[in-house]
Chain A
Amino acid sequence: MTAITHHISDDLLDAYVTGNLAQAFSVVVAAHLSLCDACRARAGAAEMLGGALLERVAPAAMSSGAKDRLLAALDDTPPPAPVARSGIFPAPVMQALGGQPPKWRMLGGGIRQQILSADSDGALRLLYIPPGRAVPEHSHGGLELTLVLQGSFSDSEGRFGVGDVETAGDETDHQPVAGAGCPCICLAATDAPLRFRAMLPRLLQPLFRI
């Protein structure tokens, strides 16, 4: 595996650590941290700052019964263990998949997707792009984070291999093309619908929900 060269930006990582990053993007960040020791260490440093802030806050007294209530609950059955990683999918992706393998839907041109969640805050999907195939050229009304889980893709911003994450914004207008060899599988989060260049994908957009 080649080294990861495209990481999470400082402000997105801080937003993740402080709980201020929308769910779809947080899943992508957590998946990247599963693959990238450098960013996990950065997140660890940001969490130390959270701990230091917690240490210095002026305490608010707990009510008198709180301790007994807590002690009484210690022997309750512990919650079930969270969903674990499976194959190429890190734990946060398996969690979003509900613990099941992906159920791909054909998008045409051999491209497949599974939408993992979609609400007013953003959408999260898995994409499957056959080797050498291109995603229709598009720009973004907002932020798009794309993490490669298998294979690779290239576009005007560079080459993205396993673990790399592309951060695309308003100004990015790109056409990702999957590398040769194995199909490219990636996890993509967006907070606004993509804008396609060509007429045909625009007509198909409501159908694809991309």
Chain B
Amino acid sequence: MKKRGLLRRVSDYARKRSPWIVHMDCAGCNGCDIETFAVLSPRYDIERFGGLEKGNPRQADIQVVAGAISKKIRSRLIRIYEQMPEPKIVMAIGSCAITKGVFHDGYNICGPLDNIIPVDVYVPGCPPKPEAILDGLIKALELWRKK
């Protein structure tokens, strides 16, 4: 592993402890969406890891995508991905985003998420529990070192 400068180590430390997420629900059944909101709620409280829900991709570090991707939402998804400043991480939540799930033969479904934008962390489940999403988030934070 290559040696890092002091500034890089400080910024890695800060990034790991301040993940701001932008959350996007594509053409799914909203199950994963509701589980993602549970992570933001007081019970699972993402803010104890320093995380915040930002409605704004320009200030977010982690894009959380739930649900299958339809043809309509594909361009918007790419646009939101491109609006996020580097370095950034993408999380795919639930079976529909990872594979196409139950929508696999849908006429309007275009590909799993990683055919469209690069995905870093996969959280399987239909829908995944909030604990699983939180676990995926913490795994994603370890990835800052590689970025």
Chain B binds chain A: no
Interface residues of A, Cβ cutoff 8 Å to B: none
